[in-house]
C-alpha cells in the first residue's frame, strides 16, 4: 500500500484544529485518521490531537486483526474509548469545556477496508465503478437533505451548514457509523476534513485521485486547490492507495 497525509492551517484561521495521520501496523495493515476539532480557545486542538494519539497508540499495540468483524469491533471500541477520554478531560479542565471533534478512520488491509466516522469529516472510495462518498455527514444540513426539507444545492449555502448532530467528546457515549467494503489493486481511499470537501467538488476529487502523479503530490494538489478557493478552514487530507509496489509514504 502507498499512503500520504498532510494538514494545512488554511488562509484564515490562526491555528490548526485538525489532526490525524497514517500508521502502519507491523502486520502491514494501515490505519488512517482525520479529526477536525472544535471548541473555545485551543480546545479543538486538544480534542483532535488526543483523538489521533489515542487511536495511534491503540492501533500499534493491538494484535493482528484479520476479519472484518474484528476490525469493526476494534473501531467501535477505540472510538468509544476516545469519546470517553475527551468527555472526562473536558469536565476536568475548565479551559477545555465544550470541546469536541469529528473523526473518520479507515483500517486498510489487503482484502478490505473498514471505515468508521462521527461528524462531517468524510471518507471516499475510488474503484472500477467510479468515485463515491462512503460516509454520511452527521450534520443538521445533511439531515434536512435526507428528509427532503432542502435540496443539495440549498445545503451548499445553508446558514447552519456547520451544525453537527454528532461529535466526539460532547456526550458520555456516542453512536459510531462503521462499514466494511472490499477493495483491490489500484483502488484508493480518501479521508478529509470539511476544509477540503467544502471547497473541492466530488468530480474534482476523483480527477486528482485518478491522476498518475505521486501520491504525495495528489495530497498537496488537493490542499492547494482548497487554499486557492479561500482556505477559510483548516484542510486535512489522507490518501491510501492499494498497490503491491514498494512503500511510498507521505
pLDDT digits (tens, 9 = 90+) for 57-76: 999 999 878 899 999 999 99
Domain annotation covers residue 249 = no
pLDDT tens digits, residue range 161-218?
A: 778 999 999 999 999 999 999 999 999 999 999 999 999 999 999 999 999 889 999 9
Domain annotation covers residue 216 = yes
Instruction: Kindly tell me if the per-residue pLDDT of 239 is higher than 50.
Output: yes
CB 218 within 8 A of CB 211: yes
**What does the alpha-carbon distance between residue 27 and residue 38 come to, in Å, rounded to a whole number?**
34
Cα–Cα separations (whole angstroms), residue 171 to 83, 128, 164, 188, 209: 8, 39, 13, 33, 36
Domain annotation covers residue 148 = yes
Domain annotation covers residue 30 = yes
The residues, ordered by sequence, that sit 6+ positions from 1 with a Cβ below 8 Å of its Cβ are 28, 30, 108, 240, 241, 242, 243, 247
**What does the alpha-carbon distance between residue 147 and residue 39 come to, in Å, rounded to a whole number?**
29
Domain annotation covers residue 248 = no
CB 45 within 8 A of CB 62: no
Domain with residue 79: its CATH number is 3.60.40.10
Query: pTM for this one?
Result: 0.93
Domain annotation covers residue 246 = no
Range of the domain at 209: 2-241
**What does the alpha-carbon distance between residue 168 and residue 60 come to, in Å, rounded to a whole number?**
22
Amino acid at each position: 500500500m502507498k499512503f500520504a497525509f498532510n494538514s494545512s492551517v488554511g488562509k484564515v484561521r490562526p491555528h490548526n484544529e485538525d489532526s490525524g495521520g497514517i500508521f502502519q501496523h507491523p502486520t502491514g495493515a494501515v490505519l488512517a485518521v482525520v479529526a477536525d476539532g472544535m471548541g473555545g480557545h485551543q480546545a479543538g486542538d486538544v480534542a483532535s490531537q488526543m483523538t489521533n494519539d489515542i487511536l495511534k497508540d491503540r492501533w500499534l499495540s493491538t494484535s493482528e486483526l484479520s476479519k472484518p468483524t474484528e476490525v469493526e469491533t476494534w473501531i467501535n471500541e477505540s472510538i468509544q474509548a476516545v469519546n470517553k477520554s475527551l468527555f472526562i478531560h473536558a469536565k476536568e479542565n475548565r479551559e477545555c469545556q465544550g470541546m469536541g471533534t469529528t473523526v473518520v478512520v479507515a483500517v486498510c488491509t489487503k482484502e478490505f477496508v473498514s471505515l468508521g466516522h462521527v461528524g462531517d469529516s468524510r471518507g471516499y472510495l475510488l474503484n472500477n465503478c467510479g468515485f463515491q462518498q462512503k460516509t454520511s455527514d452527521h450534520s443538521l444540513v445533511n439531515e434536512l437533505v435526507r428528509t427532503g426539507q432542502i435540496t443539495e444545492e440549498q445545503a451548499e449555502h445553508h446558514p447552519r451548514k456547520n451544525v453537527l448532530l454528532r461529535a466526539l467528546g460532547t456526550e458520555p457515549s456516542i453512536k459510531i457509523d462503521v462499514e466494511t467494503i472490499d477493495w483491490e489493486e489500484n483502488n484508493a481511499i480518501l479521508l478529509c476534513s470539511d476544509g477540503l470537501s467544502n471547497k473541492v467538488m466530488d468530480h474534482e476529487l476523483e480527477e486528482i485521485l485518478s491522476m498518475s502523479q505521486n501520491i504525495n503530490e495528489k495530497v498537496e494538489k488537493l490542499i492547494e486547490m482548497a487554499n486557492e478557493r479561500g482556505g477559510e478552514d483548516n484542510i486535512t487530507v489522507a490518501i491510501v492507495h492499494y498497490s503491491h509496489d514498494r512503500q511510498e509514504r507521505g
